[in-house]
Amino acid sequence: MTNPALSNDDLAMLATDFCGLNFQTPLSLLSGCVGFGEEYTRVKGYSNRDVGAVCLKGTTLEPRLGNKPHRVYETPMGMLNAIGLQNPGARHVVDEILPTLDFNETRFIANLSGSTIEEYAEVARIFDDSPIDAMEINISCPNVKEGGVAFGNDPDMSARVVAACRKVTKKPIITKLSPNQTDIAENARRCIEAGTDGFAVINTLMGMAIDIEDRSPIIGNNQGGLSGPAIKPIALLKVHQVYQVCRGHGIPIIGQGGVTTAEDAIEFLIAGATSVGVGTALFYDPLVCKKINAGIVEYLKRHDMSTVSQLSGSLQLNT
């Protein structure tokens, strides 16, 4: 049903549990790459049934127009983006967009953003009264009350955001960790104490591109988030570091950052991820998830594994 090339037994191998939710494959489509879940359904050959979950576009309490252009710039082996959280606001998403989604196809995860702890909590409260399956907290946003310091770069502020959202919802909370911090493992520990159910590792790295003729930044926001294959080695290390904290608590991880092939996805699973996020690759190959699913199944069979969960966290470190 999910992929004509895969049998029912193959599909059973791909199924995994994430925060108590059944993911039909270990793949997740990353927030900001697929709009509010409907964009890629218009591509011939694509189906939401090919993925375990779709993370919706970042949503704030009030509508936002986003940043001025340029918002996206291609770099060697990657992409810079500074969209600025353009979205119609949480209430519109819940009232107008969620009713159009087919929740029988896959799991849908809301992505929460805010500029204050109170805003995060209110957005979580709105999504709690909706059919959304889980909530991903984007703690890379700047805290306007603290001079613009990103919530995700300070373990204390990260934990406070998680705790505030935990108070208003019983739905699974997935905290999206920033790589732009000193100790991602310590941040993960604090977020677990505050009540997170899972992690998404990592968010984009901050970067810049310069027009040498104008001697000015190409991105209208001056800087943007770097994604794509260039960041994969960093993302793999961060997943491994966070996994060391999570494995004793049964906290799952969506590993993400530069996944374009089945081999990439398998690396993240071995490093400790339960699910693997696919994002930038979708822009040039909308059907890449079918290929990744097939590649994972082939690998599992070749290594005499019956489920993808046997692969997760199987890294053997050098001594």
Residue 2 has what pLDDT?
44
Does residue 83 register a pLDDT over 80?
Answer: yes
What percentage of the chain carries pLDDT values higher than 90?
Answer: 91
CA dist., res. 102 & res. 48, Å (int): 9
Residue 315 lies in a domain: no
CATH number of the domain enclosing 206: 3.20.20.70
pLDDT score recorded for residue 147? 65
Confidence of residue 273 (pLDDT cuts 50, 70, 90): very high
- pLDDT for 40 equals 81
Q: Which of 55, 141, 191, 289 is catalytic?
A: 141
Q: Are 207 and 226 in contact (CB under 8 A)?
A: yes
CA distance 126 to 141: 19
| H or E stretch at 12 | helix 8-14
Is the residue at 317 inside a domain? Answer: no
How many folded domains does the chain comprise? 1
Q: Is residue 3 part of a domain?
A: no
Catalytic-residue membership of 141:
yes
Distance of alpha carbon 200 from alpha carbon 251, whole angstroms: 11
Q: Tokens standing for 203? A: 């968010």
Q: Which range of residues forms the domain containing residue 185?
A: 8-310
Residue 38 lies in a domain: yes
Strand partners, 210: 217
Average pLDDT over residues 279-300: 96
| Within a domain: 72 | yes
Distances (CA, A) of 39 to 6, 24, 268: 24, 20, 26
**How far apart, in whole angstroms, are the C-alpha atoms of residue 123 and residue 108?**
16
Residue 316 lies in a domain: no
